[in-house]
Structure 1
Amino acid sequence: MTTYVLVHGAWHGGWCWRQVAARLREAGHEVYTPTLTGLGERAHLASPDIGLRTHVDDITGLLTCEDLREVVLVGHSYAGLVVREAADRMPGRVSQIVLVDAWAGRDGESLDDLAPEFFREWVESVTVDGLLATPPPAMVGVTKPEQVEWLEAKLTPQPRLTFSEPTRLTGAVDAIRCRTVLCSPKGPMPFARLAGEHGWPATILDVGHDAMVTAPRELADILLGDA
């Protein structure tokens, strides 16, 4: 049995992994889908003071309190930064990292530092009182009406500080096996380049950025390959 911790990206919550988690559990594995502070069902805690460090604390707290070990730690999009820093803090509890269309920085880099200029400009344009307004589902590759409706009902504003706070890494994370899944390889974000710069193997699943929504079975099957 493998223990998976699936960490959602910006504006989402643990809810977005529902179908992926169900398939992993059907295969006999243990799955956790935490919601990061200020998002999803924890949106009542939203504050401009919530940053990357808060979300890293969420994940290290889960690993500690549930006494999880030999974990496959999966991060989608923004959560690539979250899971890498959490693993760097607690490398003895993580057996593998899987980055799904995810950001990955080096020590001292933030998502703002890694993002292309057009995205930074868009982020500034939708920031109100320290929170980022939710994007249209099409921006994350979701266009089917029923999936659009599902996302629109659940996406919540993202604290701006999570994108500007630099990651803190000691280098311990670099000893942990890591692989990537590229869901929008032809898109404008640098996920493929970041994977290449770090030398991580990549699997292409060309289904749009929110693969856990648009292709949950296919994404789950890739994750099961690591079990």
Structure 2
Amino acid sequence: MTAFVLVSGGYTGGWIWRDVAARLRESGAEVHPVTLTGTGERRHLAGPGTDLALHIEDLVQVIDHVEAPEVVLVGYCYGIYPAVAAAERRMDRVARIVYLDSPMPQDGYSVLGQVQEQMADEATKDRMLQQAERAEDGWRIPVPTGEEWQAWGNLAGVSEEGLERLRRLASPQPLGTLIQPMELSGATAKLPTTGVFCTDGGTMDIATLEALVASGAPLVQDLVDPRVGFFELATGHWPMLSTPDELAEVLLRAAADEGHRLTGAP
């Protein structure tokens, strides 16, 4: 049996996977939605020392306690950072990493460092950096307001009920999780990988990625590999809230090694 370990993004927790987890379990899969320390229902455990290393250890412990022999590790948005680092520490247990509408973490960069250095969308870059500057008590980034979620969140397709859950259950984000640099060896390049793009209002899709590969862009050449597949979801940045059935189907297909393969540069 395959076990899915679902890692949420910033300001949220394991609650965000409720509907997707239900669909996956109906298929017979073992599912572990993770609430990282200091987020979601564990927000009361947050403090100035809550950082990326703690979230990596959270995931290592989850992986160690999964009984299924294979783990499909799904990292959404911020969640891909601790997911990739945890996978490096448990290469023998992770069968696949799924990048769900997320960046590609780079060795030596923090989340915000990568935003500062590599993000092309200036408005999004400024918004993320300004949020960090608003950290209360020097370490706790406040939850976006309802208006901020609507303006920044790419909430295309999310129902009013989903928006209400997001507004009600979102939690502050510990600053340390965003400013601690990643330490990666690159070992996870050996693991099967799936990328899932949310294309409604998103900045990346399979066609754009194929064009980047064809241009010879160095950062994406490693993605031309038979172990790497891709899917698209025609929704905004919150597919677990907007299209849980479709997302669950994509995750099951990813676990079965399906997905679009890229061709190399000419």
User: Number of matched residues?
Assistant: 227
Normalised by the length of structure 2, the TM-score is: 0.78
Change beyond 3 A, Cα 1:68–1:85 = farther
Match in the other structure for 2:149:
137
Alignment of 1:77-156 (within 5 A): 77-115=77-115, 116=119, 117-129=125-137, 130-135=139-144, 136-138=148-150, 139-142=152-155, 144-156=159-171
Q: What does residue 234 of structure 2 align with?
A: 206
Deviation of residue 183 (structure 1)?
1.3
Q: Deviations over 1:7-43 (max 9, x none)?
A: 1111110010010000000001100112000011101
DSSP-derived class of the 2:103 partner? coil
Residues 79, 103 of structure 1: 8 Å contact kept: no
**Superposed CA offset, 1:112-168 (max 9, x none):** 122133244332343222111112432323353221111111000000111111111
Deviation per CA, 1:82-141: give whole Å up to 9, x if none. 110000111000000001011222211111122133244332343222111112432323
**1:182 to 2:201 alignment:** no
Q: Is the 8 A contact 2:49 2:176 kept in 1?
A: yes
The aligned residue for residue 74 of structure 1 is 74
Q: CA RMSD, aligned part only?
A: 2.4
Q: CA deviation at 1:189?
A: 8.4
Partner of 1:78: helix, strand, or coil?
helix
TM-score normalized with structure 1 length: 0.91
Farther off after superposition, 121-130 or 49-58: 121-130
- Hey, what does 1:36 align to over in structure 2? 36
Structure 1 unaligned runs (5+)?
none
Whole-Å separation in 1 of the counterparts to 2:251 and 2:149: 24
Uncovered stretches (5+) of structure 2, i.e. residues with no partner: 120-124, 213-218, 257-266
The structure with the largest alpha-carbon Rg is: 2
Give, in whole Å, the separation in 2 of the partners of 1:39 and 1:119.
Answer: 21
Distance 1:123 1:70, change over 3 A: same
Aligned equivalents of 1:188, 1:112: Cα separation in 2: 18
Instruction: Name the counterpart of 2:25.
Output: 25
Post-superposition offset of 1:75: 0.6
Q: Percentage identity across aligned positions?
A: 36
Kept in 1, the 8 Å contact 2:141–2:175? The answer is yes
